[in-house]
Structure 1
Amino acid sequence: MKCSIGQSEKEKNPAKTLNTLIFIVWLATFLSHSVTI
């Protein structure tokens, strides 16, 4: 059920998926820099 809902959301709004991906990458970069410092 959850998977099918997620798939339909991706089809409706691909930009949201892209923004989420960019946010995750930014967050990972930010966290890795924080750990290094």
Structure 2
Amino acid sequence: MKREMKETHNKQMDEIIKSYTSNKIKIIFGNTNNQ
């Protein structure tokens, strides 16, 4: 039970990190493109 909770938590963290990093990349590339 606890292991399942941890696995779903890790998956959620992965999704958050992925979306966060992709947003960061978009912002960085957007800034360089605008200059």
Does TM-score exceed 0.5, indicating one fold? yes
Unaligned runs of 5+ in 1: 1-10
Count of equivalent residues = 27
Q: Which has the larger radius of gyration?
A: 2
Structure 2 residues not aligned, in runs of 5+: 28-35
Higher relative contact order (Cα pairs below 8 Å, separated by 6+ residues): 1
Find runs of 4+ consecutive structure 1 residues off by over 3 angstroms.
none
**TM-score for both structures, normalised by structure 1:** 0.66
Q: TM-score if structure 2 supplies the norm length? A: 0.69
Give percent identity, aligned residues only: 15
